[in-house]
Amino acid sequence: MELPDTSDAAERMALTLTQGGLQRATARVLAAFLFAETGSLTAPQIAERLAISSGSVSSAIKMLSTVGLIEPVPAPGSRREHYRLRDGAWATLMSTQNGMVQAMFEAAERGIEAAGPDSPAAGRLTEMRDFYAFMFRELPALIDRWHAERPRDRTWSPARGSCAGVPTSSPRSARFCTGWLGIRGRASVRHQVRCRGCGGGRRAG
């Protein structure tokens, strides 16, 4: 059976991803993985398909691997490195945003301290701080909910050392499990309930 030509759809997807903030080459490489007709792709395959340089493909693969969207896969008999779109890639990508959310929260708090509570900037900075505090608090639970409701993955539970680490305190003083949020080296863990992934934290109440 002849497979449909998805090249136009892939280019439209890449354009949308570019508008969302990705570099053009990275967006096109990600779209190539999304529309791949095989289980994995190599860098030379992508470069040939997209007619872009091997350096651009290499940089895009490195970036997409770093944020958890793609991963290397074994390819017995092949001398090339093979990559595929990671299962659960979008939840992984969103989970890595919590580090940035915390940074934005802290930046807003420092801004309030610098400008003073009665300054014209205080209201704007307070809204920013409260928004990122809300996102910091809700994002891990939202990711858990996605996994729970995902039809192909109803039995999912976080792996040991890879948990959302929902904190009981504010983002400023929170401590997390290492791994899932990309925040390492913070050993003290405080959760609302005992962590399903690592067994750490403390029981609520």
Look up the CATH number of the domain holding residue 68: 1.10.10.10
In a domain, residue 150? The reply is no
- In the chain, the number of structural domains is 1
Residue 25 is predicted with a pLDDT of 96
Write out the residue range of the structural domain in which residue 61 sits: 7-86
- pLDDT in the model for residue 194: 33
The predicted pLDDT at position 52 comes to: 95
pTM beyond 0.75, yes or no: no
Residue 32 neighbours by CB distance under 10 Å: 22
Q: Provide the token pair at 66.
A: 């770093």
Residue 20 lies in a domain: yes
Task: Kindly list the averaged pLDDT for each block of 10 residues, start to end, along the chain of length 205.
Answer: 74 92 93 90 95 96 91 88 90 77 91 90 94 89 86 44 38 38 33 36 35
- The per-residue pLDDT for 79 is 85
